[in-house]
Structure 1
């Protein structure tokens, strides 16, 4: 049975979907920062967001709070990872220019 009602689970699923869409389209926006494993993590993130949207109505408050914390930690760690990839790409460009 699928019980679809708007609640915090829908909001969390949309947030995760938006985050993995950014990760997926990173390949087209900044190809020097993208990695091959980003496609895998984007697929897993979409699967997780679909499960959260469809079956999230069964979450009790403490489980919902744990999902909020997990999503927040994953998004912050992902943002930091992408930012560090950009810094490494910039350092590699500077090193390459310095050698010439």
Structure 2
């Protein structure tokens, strides 16, 4: 039996789905920033968000708060990682232009 109750776990799960799908769509939009291991992290994130959506109704408030903190730190670290990938790519392009 699957019991999906609408609550903050649904919102948290969909925020995580949106975040990891942006990581996957990075491969289409800016392929120079994408890495091969992004598919692995996208798959793990989708699995984690599905578990949170389906079984999140069982979380008591302190466990839900810990999930909020984990997902927030995960999304912030992912954003920073992608931003640093862009900076490294731009630095490599500038270095290659100076060498020519």
Return the TM-score normalized by structure 2. Answer: 0.98
Aligned residue runs from structure 1 range 1-100, under 5 A = 1-100=1-100
Runs of 5+ unmatched residues, structure 2 = none
Shift of 1:5: 1.3
Provide the aligned C-alpha RMSD in A: 0.5
Runs of 4+ in 1 over 2 A off after TM superposition: none
Distance in 2, matches of 1:67 and 1:75, equals: 12
State how many pairs are aligned.
100
Note the C-alpha offset of 1:49: 0.4
Task: Find the aligned partners of 2:96 and 2:10 in 1 and give their Cα distance.
Answer: 46
What is the alpha-carbon distance in structure 2 between the residues aligned to residue 89 and residue 32 of structure 1? 8
SS in 2 for 1:2: coil
Superposition TM-score, scaled by structure 1 size: 0.98
Q: 2 CA distance for matches of 1:92 and 1:75? A: 26
Gaps of 5+ in 1: none
